[in-house]
Structure formats: structure tokens, C-alpha cells
Amino acid sequence: MGKQGRGELTDRIKTMSQGLLGYEMDQTELRLMPYIVYVMMNEQKIDPKKVNGAGRDILAKWRRAGHIEGGLSGLSITEEFWNILCEIVRLGYVDIDD
């Protein structure tokens, strides 16, 4: 087995999402997370040109779960979900498993 690629959905990320979110996330959700971290650390407004239909569906799922509010006019996020995003992004993009 080769080295984990950046942004690759691995078994440890699936397991982590199951424990933290209560479901096994997919590749699209993993790839949306760094953008949301970027948005929250910068202008806190989602650029609709940077989120496709699948991404909008994920954002709607997160809204229904109470993790986020708003979007185009200003995004807010719970502290718990922020911590979850950061941990999953770390596993997918920073702590690359060999």
C-alpha cells in the first residue's frame, strides 16, 4: 500500500468521522472541510462559485444538524464542529499516514 495522498479519504478518517459525526463521511465532504476552515479564518462568507451542488447539499446537512448557520451573508459555526473540522482536516491534509 502506498503513501496516503493529501485529501484522501482513508479508513482512519472514516472511523474518526463515525465517532465524531455519527456517520461515515465521503470524499466530497472531506474535500469541502478545508474550504470551510479557510472561510471561517478569513471573510466568513461562502463564495457560491466555490461550492457545487454536492457541496451545498453537505452544507444543508450540517445546517440541519445544527453545526453551522448562514453562508453567503456570513457563516457561523459551533465550537464543537470547528474542533471536528480541524481534527479531520489534520488527518486528511497534515498528518499524512504512511
The tens digit of pLDDT for each residue in 40-97 reads 999 999 999 999 999 999 999 999 999 999 877 899 999 999 999 999 999 998 887 6
Distances in Å between the Cα of 78 and the Cα atoms of 29, 65, 70, 72, 84 are 17, 11, 12, 17, 10
In this prediction, residue 2 carries a pLDDT of: 55
pLDDT of 1 higher than 60: no
In this prediction, residue 42 carries a pLDDT of: 96
In this prediction, residue 70 carries a pLDDT of: 87
d(CA 42, CA 57): 23
d(CA 40, CA 96): 23
d(CA 33, CA 39): 10
Q: How confident is the model at residue 98 (pLDDT cuts 50, 70, 90)?
A: low
Phi-psi region of 43 (alpha: psi -120 to 50; beta: other; left: phi over 0): alpha
Predicted TM-score of the model (pTM): 0.89
